[in-house]
Amino acid sequence: MSEITITVVPDESIACPGCGAYWGHPDPALDHPNRFKVDTFCRCYNPRCPVLYYDPYIGEVEVGTCEWFAACGNPATTVLEHPVLTLVPACERCAGLATS
């Protein structure tokens, strides 16, 4: 059986516009396997980033929906540490209520 070698090549050109994470980042907190998923859209795998998908060439971003309160449907702008659910996407309004 032949051996397979996988080499991770850092690619700053596809860094997430929300957090700066990319595969092979020298900072372990930003070293996530972001990669192309559909056409030119990449998926950000940083659990602390509200960005789900982004196009690194034109800067278009698709963020998740706020999940801090069940009835909220606003776009997420941040990620908060929830006491039960761990990291949860939150909008600006809910983040203000949660931290006050």
Q: How far is CA 61 from CA 2, 7, 14, in A?
A: 41, 28, 13
According to the model, what pLDDT value does residue 10 have? 65
Q: pTM score, two decimals? A: 0.62
CA distance 46 to 42: 12
Nearest to 23 by CA among 4, 37, 9: 9
Which runs of consecutive H residues, i.e. helices, occur in the chain? 92-99
According to the model, what pLDDT value does residue 6 have? 64
According to the model, what pLDDT value does residue 1 have? 67
According to the model, what pLDDT value does residue 93 have? 93
Mean pLDDT in runs of 10 for the chain (100 residues)?
69 87 89 82 88 83 84 87 82 88
